[in-house]
A and B are shown apart, each in its own frame.
Chain A
Amino acid sequence: MTPIKTIALKEFKDYFISPIAYIVISLFLIVTGWFFFSTFFIYGRADLRDFFALLPITFSFFIPAVTMRMFAEEKNVGSYESLLTMPVSFAHIALGKFFAASAFAAAMLLPTLSYPLFISFLGNVDLGPVAGGYIGAILLGGAYCSIGLFASALTRNQIIAFIIGCAICFTLTIIDRMLFFVPESLVPAVEYLGANAHFTNISKGIIDSRDLIYFASVIFIFIFSTDIAMKEKN
């Protein structure tokens, strides 16, 4: 476990050494804050439903931006070679980077905890959906981080990593709204693939094992694919 921890800590610190972290977090807060509060006073409801409803879309752009450098930059600079020749396995590296990116996604969500705090001055906030929403957001963030990590492991170009990551995340987000293109027999299967529905369930405050298993499987599949992509390149 120690190598995973070492790599995760180093990668997490890396975000805050360079200006990337501050830029991404600021942009994320501006985008989500603006979309949420622009309609907040019109509806006059003391909940975070609209904030969480938009999160899968914003995450599918922001998370790949966070993860795109993870492998692509190392390959480009060449430090990938130093890293791979140290006594750590591919899985250690992939998991270490995954935890760092997920922790960063959590750090990105941290300032938004002020929303429920402010709203609680305006009315009675139901804490169940808020707590569920944040749990769901962490799971969704983790799933998208594993996808972004996989995209980054495919290439040495950060832009390509970003676009591939966005494409996969965005597809998972909107796939359940595209069901009319799908033959009827496949509808339940494709519906299950969509991340949005699972996230919405959790953010309503309903924590169902099916949804947890969904996110756990996405994370597992993409970290495993990252591991394969790393091995394949050598």
Chain B
Amino acid sequence: MELIILPLAGALISWLGKSLNRQVSFLFSIATLALNLYWLSVFIPDGTLQFEQNVPWMNEGIRVHTGIDGMGMLLLLLANLLTPIILLSRWSMNQEQNRLMLPLILLMQSALNGVFTSMNGLLFYVFWELALIPIYFISAKWGSDNRIRITLKFFLYTFFGSVFMLASLLFLYWKTPGTHSFEWASLVAVELTEAEAWWVGAGLLIAFLIKIPVFPFHTWQADTYTAAPAAGSMLLSGIMLKMGFFGLFRWYLPLVPEVIQSQMSWVGLLAVVGVIYGGFIALRQNDLKRLVAYSSFSHVGLIAAGIATLTINGFQGAAIQMFNHGINIVALFFAISIIEQRMGSRSMTQLRGLAASSRVFAILFMVAVLGTVAVPLTNGFPGELLLLQAVFASNAVYGILAGLTIILCAAYMLRMYQFSMFGDAAEHQPAFQALVPSEWLGMGILASLILVFGIFPQPILDLTHASMTQLLEIIQERIALR
């Protein structure tokens, strides 16, 4: 609850305040992170819900009920870790824009923390929708050409998905006994017939698959990531799409265990198709941001395929990869934003030899690229390993196909790095200015996180292990009961 209110207060103060607006925003985001880290230090990862708060809201069944379990804690940590860095990426930029953009980023953080802590269906829906407003404004106001059309498409797409989710939740709500309740535990306890569960599951699934996005619901994604300003792309890809995965874990799998086996086999197929499709498209991109967008599409496909296996390895791989994908993609977008700001271009064919001008940047960017490629000792490796192992174990063909992602990813990522960083500088190319402190601080933190979690992935796995096992138990118990 405090994690929701703190950024919200920060957003209001920084919006109403006349000056010092980036300092105020940054301070509030750091305070939120500090609180989150403190909670992490007293958190016991045993699969229970901790830091619970529970007060009635509209009636007895519609409550403001928040709490944190292992998976929630992981995603909170991701959101609150990345927000200060995203704010840092705006530090040296247009202050006129920051007046409005920084409060919106904090508002987004508040809504995201709400999504990751809600234990009440309607509260979850409210935060889910609320998160859409700031990101829509950030992308539509400060994006590049065509932003208005593209972002409206994005908004409509995701909003369509979420109304089906609301319909499904409402259906479950009216099935709960007594005075009806949106509480997570009550919704989980509802028994549905096969046909009902199929429809309810489909409604929930469509909202989450659009958000992730899984093929063929991805058509909004590349355009939106490209058109949004750097901070918007980071928010979207780094944190917001994790809402989709979180939704699958918390609000889909335990709610309709009756049909997840059949529905998830379809999701697995679509996800693998997306992995390959995204990878091949990424190979042919010239725009750096578009390339990273498709690479992200390909990577999240693998995470979705891992969840679709319904095994503990798949779940754990998905959890750790959710976290690390967030860090990696934000590092990539950060680097691209640094390049774009200096060179005025994101086109691979126009960029040459940046490595010679700034060695620090070249190294930091390299770390981000290696993390994405999932080289051992970077953070991408353990997750990808677990995921591929899980996918392979459940379906060898999918496993082999999804394994292609490593080769494809190495190909397009290294191609990107090679084209933009090596070679001789083009003649009319402006000089590459050295990084300013806010930039190397932001990139430096991200790069060290990539290495730290590459060498010590175990803490992340420990954090989510208990809640993932418990989730799996709930599902299996319900399936066995029938």
Asked if A and B are interacting partners, one says no
